[in-house]
Structure formats: C-alpha cells, structure tokens
Structure 1
C-alpha cells in the first residue's frame, strides 16, 4: 500500500468515527458565532445610557441594596452606562448607576439558548458527572478533526500541477452532480477553509488536553504555570462558583462591600484608558480583591490589565499587564479568542463562523463519498458473486 493510499484510509476511517461529533461541534460553532453581539442586541433597551444629571450612586450602597449577591460586577467608562450584575446561570441584571434603580433583567431565553449551544459544543449537552466522559469524546474527536485537516491537505495535493487540475480542487464546478459534485465540494471547501480551521481546531486541542497546553509553553521556552495559580486554562467558572463533587451548584461566599468604592477608584488609576472594569465580589472579608480592566470589549487580551488590591489599605498587591507575562502565557491567553475568532474582531468571528459552516459541509460530503464508496463496493461484490455462481453452473452443466 502506497503512502497516499495509507493516508486515504486513515482519513476515511477517522472521518467515519468522528464525523457525527465533528458535525455537532461545527453546527454549534456556527450558532455561537455572534453570541456577544446577539445578547447585546436583545439587551439594547436595558443598556441604553441613562441621563446622568446627578453624581453616581456609591457602588457599596448600590450592591448592598440588591436582593442577592452578584457573582460578577461590570462597569463601563462611558457616562450613563448602567452597572451590569451577573448572577451565574441565573442571568444578568442592569442597574442605573446614578439612582440604583433596576432597569431590567437581560433576555433570559437568548442566554439559555447560547448556554445550551455551549453545552453541546463542549460536553454534548451532558450535565453533572457525564460531562467528563463527553469532554473526553469531544476532545478526541477534535484531535481527529485536526488529523483530518492535515491528512486532507496531503490528499488534496494535485498529482500534476496544471491549471485544469488546480482549478478542479480550488473552485466550484456548477455542472458536476452526484459523486463528482461531492468530491468537488469536499476539496474546494477544504482548501478555502484549511488555514482558519487549523487555527480553530488546534486551539481547541490546546484547551482540551493538558499535554497540548504544556507543549505550547515548551515551544516558547516558558515555565508551565502551577495549576490553580492562574493562566492555565484562561477560563472556567468564577471563583467560589461552579459545581461540587456531586454536581450540585456551589454558591459564592457572601461578599463584603466595605471600602469598595475606594478600591474601584484605585483600580481605575492602573489604566486610565480602561473601557470595561469587572470584578467578582465574592470572597472572605479581608481577602485581596482582583479587578480586570479592558480597553476593548472582548477578544483582546493584550489590552487587559489585572490588578489585585488589599481590601484594608487599598494598595496594589499584584499588578499584571499582558506585557508582563511570559511568552507561553501570552500565547495561551490568545488561544481562547483565536478559537472563537474574536481575536480578529467581527471579521475574525465571521471567518470562524464561515469555516465552521465549512466543517458542516466537509462532514456531509465526506460521509456522502464514503457511502457511495460502500455502495460501489457492495455492487462489485454482488457482481463477483454472480460470476462465481455462473461459473459453477457452467461446470455442473
């Protein structure tokens, strides 16, 4: 068996094994493309700037007046922007920064839809203990998808570099039907989607496997951070939140708002150009409080500063800018945003969504070609059986 034929059969088998899961991840990837923009659009009435006309209400009093402690508090620099209070999976509430009046709750249905799509994308919709098994399956299939993309390039490579052969695998043939059409679509979509899909899928592998994450650090000659010390996963639930060992919901610790306004003002001074400031108020009364200041909405970790302040003195205990991180940590921080395309803004999101749609067609055409191959093989076997039976009959006659 030649090298190319070996790659072909490995490609076909991997596609048949991982195809359904890759299809689910691709479809949900398409649906998650404009998650942030969609949520903002549905919440646009609640996020409309309020008329200032008076000093901002002290944040300590504003939060103390809330019926429940939020998991995350988000402030925006633009005058009149409301305070956004996030309550984990329970939703988001917008509060007038000047009066403390509740403006309304974010669109719950839209958020639940995207939470469901994220759950299917990462864990095949599983909850509780089943997530660990589902995550292992999606991780393995994502790794198989990476192999499919790289082996697909080998199979796509024209045997002869002529204008006709190159056009056949890089441009759609509107006249083709049946097997020829599926083959043409598979090659053309694979060619135009390959580079961005490699980024999307490879970043998914880094987030799925500790060895891939460690490899990222070793490639840059950086020391791998201690798990739990920050910078490992670049995500996860807020501190004190999440699920316990039996899958039950854990509530954040009761927060202390004493001296919070002074802490917020001190945090703002760390980056005068901040646009979005967020923090998680949960934690022991005297524990340091971490603030994140962003110069952009999302997707630009290089424009983010994190400062941890002592609650009693208000002094900075730790200040971390993107430039202060190791090369491995900086690269790892980009991974999550490369995966969603948000590292490239709306254009990057659009490209990520389009290549995810390309992944849907790659699975469809790949399965169609496999079924056609199987049907052709069964027909050949049938004809061979007929020839054998005819030969037997001739001998007996």
Structure 2
C-alpha cells in the first residue's frame, strides 16, 4: 500500500484532533461566550453608570475628591485606577483591584457598587476555563500549558485541514460537498459535509485566532514578532510598556499637584477624548521597568474615532509641575510593538470593533462544531457500524475517505 502525502498529513491531523479536541472545544465555546463581555456588562449595569445631572452648569468634584470619597466608603480598598468619561451623565469609574471597582457620582460623590454581578461571575468562570481550563492556584500553570499546546494543535489542524480539504479535481461534483451545506444527508455524509464546509469558511479567522493565541501563550512566539520586524524583543512577556519617564528633581519641600490639574491638561491634549484613564502608583504597567525616585503620572487617552480602535495616547506628566514630559501614540511604536499589539486585539476581534468580535465569535462556534463532527468522523472510522447505510454519500466522501477527519 503506497503512502501518499495526503495520508502522511491526514493521520497527524486525525490523531492531534482526537487528543486535543476536548480542550479545543472548551476554548472555542468559552471564547465565543466572552466575545462581547464588555458590551454586555456595560448594558447590564447601565443604570449604575448613569447619574442625574443637577444642572447644565453644575460643578464637578475633583478627581482627588472622588478618590477621597471612595476611600471613606471603603477604607480597606486600594484604588488602582480612575477612568473619566466625557458624557455629563456618566459616573467616574474607580478601580479597586484588577477587575473590581466602584462608580462615583462626579457631582455628589455618591459611591455606587458595580452591578451585573451575575454576568461578571459568568464571564469570570468563562475566562478561567478559556485560559486555564478552570484550574486554580498551583494548578494554573498546568492548565495554561494544556491550553497553549491545544491552541498550537488547533493552528496545525487549520493549516493541515486546508490541504486535506483541497479537492483533487475542481469540478462542481467534487467541490460542492466541501464548499456548502447540503440537505438530506445523514451520518458520515452529513458530518463530512459539515466538517469541510465549516472548516473552509472559518479557516481564515481560525488561523488569525490561533496564531495570535500562540503569541499570547508563548514568549518565543511573541519575541519572534519583534525579531521578524527587526526590533529587539522586550525583556518580559505580556503587556508591552514604555521605559519609565525621568522626572526632574523637584525643589525641596515640593508637593505633588494632585490628579485634577493633570486630567484638565489631558483634556487639552486631546480635545475629542473618549476616555481618560490613570493607573495609580505612577501609572506603570506590571511589566514596565521601574524608575527610582519620583515617578511620572501617565494618563491613557482614547480619542473618539481614533484608529486603530484600541489605540490610546500615553501622556506622562511631572506630578509636581504638571508639565508634559512625554506623549506617546500608537504611531510612535516600533514595528514590532505595533504588530504585537494588533495581534493581541485581533485575538478577541476587538481590533475591528463589534463586527470583528462577531466574526470571531461565529468562527469560535464553528470550532465547536468542527470538534463535534471531527469526533463523529473519527468514531465512525475506528468503530464502523455493521448496519448498511441506506443514505447515499457524496462521491468525494467515498473517493477520498481520508479527508473526512
């Protein structure tokens, strides 16, 4: 029996699919579930985010005063960030942890708890399963390793599946069963038709999702993005941060200005701002190099109608004088950092807005069906039914049985 290239590719395709299929199915299902997480939470807690405006010219409390109100209401909380919105009836978001926070009325200082607790709990569980297979504590590295390997296998399945899908002859008779859904099919013929059709139409998106997932999962893959673009990889994996901004030595006895003057200056920097966000404690990201001495306060400013949609200008201020020490936009990033940031947001579809998220969610659901039909085809291959199949199968399925995996 001759060994063809198709068979050489088919068997690793089948075996890797059987071994990693369950994890791939979990990641695909949970990925679809969290595709619109932020939009659903914003909708679910819309009442918590809105406030009554006393009058058109009503004065707003300063950001520093709002932080004081949060500390008074939650003495044990450590505010980690503040986000201000331009709408007069929007509350100010004060983070008190990585994802926890409260809303504060900018006119009265009233502190409101975040709503949508059921939705938040649901998405938290989905994220844990998507990233770590629900593992906690010391078991998380194991869960992360399994999802990383399974994601890599999914990328291999997508690429090898394209070769297996490719018809030997391009005729309507051979292409139709693998290009679109056909009615009246049952059993192996139906699974073959669904597996190939879904795989073909979801293939481009699945390649983007899995390739970007590789960059997120593995440091070597992330470094490769920088190497291929001719840039030096960052010292740590994860969110890429700029080098710390050096703050001039302040006069003896000088005190920081507070946040309100810095927010006011940030509004001038980008008049059409959409959000203003500051990370407390110097505004540095977790992986950013730490500076000694006084640290600049960095505000992330997202602009209305800006491109890319995920881009934000990073404006660093002298905390003692309010002077702008550095302004960095997406255009200032090197090619490696641009590509790495694009891949991060392409993985969730957010790079292309709600349409990108919808396409990513549909492709992820397609991944679930690929796992289901792949398992069904594998089961029938290893445990064939002895009963005769009265339903005629498409000629491509019988002529090319190895493509039905």
How high is the TM-score relative to the length of structure 2?
A: 0.83
Distance 1:161 1:355, change over 3 A: same
Residues 66-85 of structure 1: pairs in structure 2 closer than 5 A: 66=70, 67=74, 68-85=77-94
Deviation at 1:280, TM superposition (A): 1.6
Equivalent of 2:376, from 345, 363, 368?
368
Pairing partner for 1:346 from 349, 354, 357: 354
Distance 1:296 1:127, change over 3 A: farther
Check if 1:221 corresponds to 2:225.
no
Rounded to whole Å, the distance in 1 between the matches of 2:103 and 2:201 is 42
Gaps of 5+ in 1: 237-255, 380-397
Matches within 5 A, 1:18-33: 18-33=20-35
In 2, Cα distance between equivalents of 1:29 and 1:296: 28
Whether 1:321 and 2:325 are equivalent positions in the alignment is: no
Given candidates 102, 117, 134, the residue that maps to 1:108 is 117
Q: Calculate the aligned-residue CA RMSD, in Å.
A: 2.3
Question: 2: distance between equivalents of 1:300 and 1:7?
Answer: 38
Are the aligned partners of 1:296 and 1:303 in contact in 2 as well (CA < 8 Å)?
Answer: no
Q: Which residue of the partner structure matches residue 392 of structure 1?
A: none
Which residue of structure 1 lines up, in the alignment, with residue 37 of structure 2? Answer: 35
Asked whether the 8 Å contact 2:20–2:153 carries over to 1, the reply is yes
Q: Measure the CA separation in 2 of the matches of 1:23 and 1:148.
A: 13
Contact 1:22-1:141 within 8 A present in 2 as well: yes
Residues 78, 97 of structure 2: 8 Å contact kept: no
After superposition, residues 1-397 of structure 1 pair within 5 angstroms as 1-53=3-55, 54-66=58-70, 67=74, 68-88=77-97, 91-227=100-236, 232-234=237-239, 259-282=258-281, 286-296=294-304, 300=308, 303-376=311-384
Deviations 1:116-172 (A, max 9, x none): 111110011112221112111111110000000000000000010001211110111
Paired with 2:131 and 2:63, the residues of 1 have a C-alpha distance of: 36
Q: Do the aligned partners of 1:290 and 1:309 also contact (CA within 8 Å) in 2?
A: yes
Equivalents in 2 of 1:118, 1:358: separation in Å? 19
For residues 188-209 of structure 1, the C-alpha deviation after alignment (integer angstroms, 9 at most, x for no partner) is 0000100111111111011111
After TM superposition, give the deviation of residue 90 of structure 1 in Å.
Answer: 6.7
Q: Aligned pair in 2 of structure 1 residues 104, 16: CA closer, same or farther (>3 Å)?
A: same
Deviations 1:12-71 (A, max 9, x none): 011011111101101101111110111011111112253152111011111112123322
Preserved contact between residue 93 and residue 105 of structure 1 (Cα < 8 Å): yes
Q: Which has the higher contact order (CA 8 A, sep 6+)?
A: 2
Equivalent position of 1:245 in the other structure: none
* Number of residue pairs the alignment of both structures matches: 356
TM-score relative to the length of structure 1: 0.84
Post-superposition offset of 1:223: 2.2
Q: Distance in 1 between matches of 2:79 and 2:51?
A: 21
Cα pair 1:301 1:322 within 8 Å, conserved: no
Runs (4+) off by over 6 Å: none
Name the CA distance, whole Å, in 2 between partners of 1:49 and 1:209: 44
Q: Give yes or no for contact 2:51–2:91 (8 Å, CA) kept in 1.
A: yes
CA 1:70–1:297 in structure 2 vs 1: closer, same or farther (change >3 Å)? farther
CA shift, 1:318, in A, is 2.7
CA 1:338 to 1:357, structure 2 compared with 1: closer, same or farther past 3 Å? Answer: same
- Tell me, yes or no, if the aligned pair for 1:299 and 1:337 is still in contact at 8 Å: no
CA 1:353–1:58: 2 relative to 1, 3 Å: same
Unpaired segments ≥5 residues, structure 2? 242-254, 283-291, 388-405
SS in 1 for 2:358: helix
Displacement, 1:298?
Answer: 11
2:273 touches 2:303 (CA, 8 Å); kept in 1?
A: yes
1:299 to partner: Cα distance: 9.4
Distance of aligned partners of 1:180 and 1:83 in 2 relative to their CA distance in 1, 3 Å threshold = same
Secondary structure, aligned partner of 2:46: coil
Deviation per residue, 1:235-275 (Å, 9 max, x gap): 79xxxxxxxxxxxxxxxxxxx98521112222333322211
